[in-house]
Chain A
Amino acid sequence: MVEPLISFKDFSFKYDSQAEDTLKHINLDIYPGEKVLIAGASGSGKSTLGRVINGLIPHAYPGTISGSCVVNGKEVADSSLFDLSFDVGTVLQDSDSQFVGLTVAEDMAFSLENDQVSQAEMKSAVSKWAKTLQLNELLKNSPQEISGGQKQRVAMGGVLIDESQVLLFDEPLASLDPAAGLASMKLIDELATKQSLTVVLIEHRIEEVLHANIDRLVVLRDGEIVANDSPNKILESEELVGLGLREPLYLSVLRRAGIAITDCRQIGHAETITNPAIAESLKSWTKGAKLTYADKKMTSLLELRDIKFAYGAGKNVIDGLNLIVHQGEIISLVGQNGTGKSTLSNLITGFLTPDSGKILFAGEDMADLSVKERSEKIGYILQDPNQMISKTTVFEEVSSGLVLREISNEEIQTQVNEVLKICGLYEMRHWPISALSFGQKKRVTIAAILVLDPKMLILDEPTAGQDFRHYTEIMSFLEKVCAEKDLTVILITHDMHLMLEYTTRTIVLDAGHVIMDDTPAKVLTSDNILQRASLAKTSLYTLASRFGLPSADDFVAKFIESERRMR
């Protein structure tokens, strides 16, 4: 019998800083050569489990352990972090922070340097792994010069160079765009086979990880293992949704069309799932489903006319861009990194001034308005709430923008309290910011902008890194607030679910132009556009083309609408 490489036996762990066990009586064996996905909502303990495997627990995070966890014959609690690092290579969620060298080559060699390996050996090891990971062209590049996907490959190189048997990924998809995420999953699959690695992936985005052809899916909830089986077995049942996770879309749509997943075969991918009834059921479902067209009055709120902009004497980053945003719309702005999305939002908020062209807001030319004056019309919300919050309590933070406007204290009190109530933060108004969860902090940052009473919001990746439950929480909140205050919203995002489910119109930017301006469903079913925007095909689209549905985007739109109604 093959011995497990990683073996948890009745393992529990409590962080010193917490009152309750984060992991409770875990029993789990991972065998050599397996690819295991450990999934779970935020707070389920999945990251904690990962930290046990690589030894950060108990060595960097002190706490109380009971039971045992053995990795390659070593009891984790009794081995040093350094010893364990030979067996388990960790790729952290934030591969930018993991990049500690000044160049790609140095970063890959980092662990060898620490092992006092000779320079010649390092050079040959680096060149070997650079070749495997297609990094040879980038060896001399600095971390600021390479993309997220490339950084992740460098991080992989930096641990594979130790020839460790286990590769542990902590949320590998969190900082990648859809196309890079897909490529990364395929690479992991390929590497694992070629190098006979054991791979442990910690992620909540199950559909994407399925592309790595995982052998086993382990689901955690509240520190306990609630499912541990082949992915197909778990996908057949409907339990994922109940566990705070998102079921792969292609399975949801098949269920909606009345197909029992248990009757299907090869259900692991939208490309392979088969059942003689699928084509017929999907067609009749699509026929039966109706799309409602909301007749909105189209008043233009923001209008950009032939905007051109270049940094210094460089080439135009925004090159003759035209765009009209209507009152009350929720728009998604997508495009590869570096195509000018942030430049565009900086032009709108007034941090940058266009070289030519006009920006009109409610018919008024904004050229003469300062950043501060524009901030009364347009609110800008960063991806990371920690980068926005500068006060210590909720009330102080939300009121800080109003205080600057020199209005009376009572007036501030009333306005802030009103916004806090809308945002569901009123009860927490005296709480210190540090006691809030990520989602709550996000709400605080939105509240702090709403209190300024803008007509329009620009949000940068509002749901990045959030599991399904928190994602839904943030977005339903935003949807509700926008409806109440009749706000217009631009979401800058890579998240295809977000585009589909919460926005009505998608603007695709490439090389400073709008290359497509249509419904999210249409954008996500246009092959050529997807590639240029670094997005990936949704599995819905795959189903539509495999089973010969007359119109892929109609199918996608109908499914999304039926999902919306279910919410």
Chain B
Amino acid sequence: MSKNLFVGYNERDTFMHRLSGSTKLIGFVSLSIIGMVTFDTRFLLGIFLFSIILFWKSQIKLSEISFILKVIIAFAAFNIFLVYVFSPGYGISIYGSHHMILGNPNQFFNLSWEELLYLFNVLLKYTFAVPLALIFLLTTEPSEFAASLNKIGVSYRISYSVEITLRYIPDVQRDYRTISLAQQARGYEISKKANLITRAKGAVQIILPLIFTSLDRIETVSQAMSLRRFGRHNKRTWYMARRFEMADYLAFFVIFLIVIVGVLLFKVNNGRFWNPFN
């Protein structure tokens, strides 16, 4: 049940599943950084293709991620739209030239090839990291998350809070359902039949007991953890940690190469932007 979060781990045997969680996390983080910094369309297209291939290789089914995918697409589209609406001439000011499609550079609303290229870059930035993030989430056992975070340098207390959150989400969901049923049984309408204000009031009726129940639980959990010496040392080991194997080192090498290419392109392009209009 804990695995049925909106995206959850799927046990399959692929190359991506066999990589250690830390490797995937490092890959995701470093490619995201270099991808966010650069505006080289060729490079962005390259890593976009790369992440799509990895995604395909990890045998994640589209049906498993359709919901989150729709959310991301809607968000990205809306964002691109806003970026254009607020500053339609931004592409022109970046690339320093204007190849117009509609209107002229003196109007506020105009459309240039420069702006289109800029928007395309932004779109790529939003999308290339998505498959990578999904790969990390869906091919790494939740139990390994905390260990992976800790391994890449996040303090183990923070890392473990991720694990504890995953552990208790289903319990809190269960509490929520129980409380909600009990409140409805007293006449609080929270279904779609009632108007918004009534529903909001009904929701408050649930939230309050939920908070108190959760606070009680947090106290017990933290006691249970200190009774088993959580926080005694500055470091801890992880039952579910994975050792780096050959494949992981290979992956690091590939990641390193990609990042280097990205950095070298800054030099070639004399900056973050690749400018085909010169």
Contact = CB atoms under 8 A, between A and B. Distances in A.
Interface of A: 54, 56, 59-60, 81-82, 85, 90, 92, 94, 96-103, 105-106, 109-119, 122-123, 126, 142-145, 158-159, 162, 346, 349, 351, 370-372, 374-376, 378-382, 384, 386-390, 400-401, 404-405, 448-449, 452
Interface stretch (B18-26, B187-195, B254-262): B187-195
Contacts of A404: 186-188
A162 B230 CA distance: 13
Given A110-B230, A349-B181, A452-B187, A60 B223 contact: yes
A301 B29 CA distance: 64
A97 B170 CA distance: 13
A1 B205 CA distance: 61
Contacts of A405: 187
Nearest to A102: B143
B229 A115 contact: yes
B59 interface: no
B229 A114 contact: yes
Nearest to A96: B171
Contacts of B166: 102
A79 to B, nearest CB: 13
A381 to B, nearest CB: 8
B209 A116 contact: no
B187 A106 contact: no
A452 B171 CA distance: 30
Contacts of B232: 82, 114-115
A346 B182 CA distance: 10
B184 A101 contact: no
26 contacts: A54-B227, A56-B223, A60-B223, A85-B228, A85-B229, A92-B227, A100-B164, A101-B239, A106-B143, A110-B228, A110-B230, A113-B236, A115-B232, A116-B235, A118-B237, A351-B184, A371-B184, A372-B189, A376-B187, A380-B181, A381-B182, A389-B209, A390-B205, A390-B206, A401-B187, A452-B186
B81 to A, nearest CB: 38
A114 B208 CA distance: 34
B167 A143 contact: yes
Given A111-B229, A144-B170, A388-B209, A382 B221 contact: no
B1 A144 contact: yes
A407 to B, nearest CB: 12
Contacts of B239: 101, 105-106, 109, 112-113, 119, 122-123, 126
Interface stretch (B30-38, B69-77, B212-220, B270-278): B212-220
Interface residues of B, number: 54
A375 B228 contact: no
B186 A449 contact: yes
A381 B223 CA distance: 30
B220 A92 contact: yes
Given A56-B223, A387-B209, A106 B240 contact: yes
Contacts of A101: 143, 163, 167, 239
Contacts of B220: 92, 94, 97-98
A384 B227 contact: no
B178 A390 contact: no
A96 B224 CA distance: 10
A390 B209 contact: yes
A122 B216 CA distance: 31
A337 to B, nearest CB: 13
A116 B236 contact: yes
A102 B163 contact: yes
Interface of B: 1-3, 142-143, 163-164, 166-167, 170-171, 175, 178-179, 181-189, 191, 193, 204-206, 208-209, 212-213, 216-217, 220-221, 223-233, 235-241
Nearest to A117: B237
A387 B178 contact: yes
Nearest to B235: A116
Contacts of B213: 384, 386-387
B167 A346 contact: no
Nearest to B183: A390
Contacts of B167: 99-102, 143
Contacts of A85: 227-229
A96 B167 CA distance: 11
B187 A372 contact: yes
B181 A90 contact: no
A519 B220 CA distance: 39
B221 A401 contact: no
Most buried by B among A116, A159, A346, A452: A116
Contacts of B212: 386
Contacts of A145: 1
A400 B221 CA distance: 32
A375 B229 contact: no
Contact of B228 (A123, A159, A376, A384): A159
Given A100-B164, A110-B230, A119-B238, 6 more contacts: A92-B227, A101-B239, A110-B228, A159-B227, A349-B181, A384-B213
Contacts of B225: 100, 110
A146 B236 CA distance: 27
Nearest to A121: B237
Contacts of A90: 227
Nearest to B215: A386
Nearest to A159: B228
A111 B229 CA distance: 6
A54 B166 CA distance: 28
Contacts of A158: 228
Given A111-B228, A387-B175, A375 B1 contact: no
Contacts of B231: 114
B260 to A, nearest CB: 33
Given A94-B220, A109-B239, A114-B236, A380 B185 contact: yes
A375 B230 CA distance: 46
A372 B191 CA distance: 11
Nearest to A405: B187
A404 B205 CA distance: 12
A99 B232 CA distance: 19
A375 B186 contact: yes
A92 B175 CA distance: 20
A483 B217 CA distance: 37
Given A96-B171, A102-B142, A386-B213, A56 B184 contact: no
B179 A387 contact: yes
B175 to A, nearest CB: 7
Contacts of A92: 220, 223-224, 227
A380 B171 CA distance: 21
Nearest to B176: A387
> What are the nearest 9 A-B pairs in CB distance?
A111-B228, A109-B239, A97-B220, A380-B185, A98-B224, A114-B229, A401-B186, A144-B1, A82-B232
A142 B166 CA distance: 11
Nearest to B240: A106
Most buried by B among A97, A99, A376, A386: A97
A99 B224 CA distance: 8
A97 B186 contact: no
B120 to A, nearest CB: 41
A144 B2 CA distance: 7
Contacts of A449: 186
A444 B213 CA distance: 17
B228 A97 contact: no
Contact of A97 (B2, B221, B238): B221
